[in-house]
Amino acid sequence: MFGRRASDMAPGTHYRSERISAVNGQYFFSTREGTLEGPYYTRVDTEREVALYIRRVKQSDTLLALRGR
């Protein structure tokens, strides 16, 4: 996939991959920023946290954009 986030300095190629992984019965998700978030007890909990994480990142980007005006 070819894409660029507003915060990226230059366009790049991003490959889709499974971001949720299970280790010893606990679930984690990885971010584009290279962090590993978790542990969570179920995949459903992890998926919910992924959605919340994305929402927080978008809100942060919006606030930074407003602050930069």
Among residues of the chain, what percentage have pLDDT more than 90?
64
Inside any domain, residue 36:
yes
Q: What is the pLDDT of residues 25-44, one digit of tens each?
A: 999 999 988 999 999 999 99
Task: Note the pLDDT of residue 14.
Answer: 59
Tell me how far apart the alpha carbons of residues 38 and 45 are, in angstroms, rounded to a whole number: 10
Q: Is the pLDDT of residue 19 over 80?
A: yes
Number of domains in the chain: 1
Alpha carbon distance, N-terminus to C-terminus of the chain: 31
DSSP bridge pairs for 2: 13
- Residue 15's domain comprises 10-67
Put simply, whether the predicted model's pTM sits higher than 0.85 gets the answer no
Inside any domain, residue 1:
no
